[in-house]
Structure 1
Amino acid sequence: MTIPVSQLSDPAVRAFVTALNANDEVAFAAALTSGAGMSDDGSERDLGQWTDREVFSSHGHMDVESESDDGRDLVVRYRNDTWGEMLTRWHFTVDGGKIARFETGQA
């Protein structure tokens, strides 16, 4: 059973997931700090290039299976038009109510 996005515990993570699922690049950028960073499967990635390829141009979508660490660690069924669906883990670092960094990878 998935957790409705509106019920995610951390407001910054909730804004991130809401924007990603709506394919809303403006709201997504607003959910991030200036200079936010990320990694995918342990490798540092360029945030803009990665989100364009893995999220926006391929219609990424997160169905949250579980959360821990006050909502900053998620297990997600992530899908996009490129890779289909996979079980992934997401860890978020929040600063000032926005996402400063996220790390994702296969669960």
Structure 2
Amino acid sequence: MTIPADQLSDPAVRAFVAAVNAGDQRAFYAALAPGATMSDDGSDRDLRQWAEREIFSANGHMDVESQQADGLALVARYRNDTWGEMRTAWRFVVEDGKVGRFETGQA
């Protein structure tokens, strides 16, 4: 069973997931705090380069299976045209209603 993006607990995470699933770059960057950072499988990455490669040019999509920590920790089936589908964990730090950092990796 998946949790629709509009039913995720945290508003910033909800906006992030909705933007990813819509392929909406403007909404994605609007969901992020200035200077937001991220890591993938434990390594910090350039957020804009990563998002272009893993989300926007590859049709990334998150099917959220569960949420914890008041919606700041998700487990999702993530798929894109490059890697196919994998079970992933996502952790978010929200600052002033925006995602200041996210960390993702295989679950």
Report if TM-score (shorter chain) is over 0.5.
yes
User: In the alignment, which residue of structure 2 is the partner of 1:7?
Assistant: 7
Please tell me the residue identity of whatever aligns with 1:9: S
* 1:4, distance to aligned residue in structure 2 (A): 1.0
Task: State the alpha-carbon separation in 1 of the partners of residues 18 and 103 from structure 2.
Answer: 17
Task: State the alpha-carbon separation in 2 of the partners of residues 12 and 68 from structure 1.
Answer: 15
3-state SS in 2 of match to 1:82: coil
Task: State the alpha-carbon separation in 1 of the partners of residues 105 and 81 from structure 2.
Answer: 17
Unaligned runs of 5+ in 2: none
* 1:50, distance to aligned residue in structure 2 (A): 0.2
3-state SS in 2 of match to 1:75: strand
Task: State the alpha-carbon separation in 2 of the partners of residues 3 and 46 from structure 1.
Answer: 28
User: CA offsets per residue over residues 20-44 of structure 1, 9 Å max, x none?
Assistant: 1000000000000010000000000
3-state SS in 2 of match to 1:2: coil
Task: State the alpha-carbon separation in 2 of the partners of residues 95 and 31 from structure 1.
Answer: 11
1:34 aligns with 2:7: no
Task: State the alpha-carbon separation in 1 of the partners of residues 4 and 29 from structure 2.
Answer: 22
Please tell me the residue identity of whatever aligns with 2:57: S
Q: Percent identity?
A: 70
Task: State the alpha-carbon separation in 1 of the partners of residues 26 and 5 from structure 2.
Answer: 18
Q: Which runs of 4+ in 1 moved over 4 A?
A: none
Please tell me the residue identity of whatever aligns with 2:16: F
**Alignment length, in residue pairs?**
107
3-state SS in 1 of match to 2:99: strand
User: CA offsets per residue over residues 81-103 of structure 1, 9 Å max, x none?
Assistant: 00000000000000000000000
Task: State the alpha-carbon separation in 2 of the partners of residues 29 and 8 from structure 1.
Answer: 19
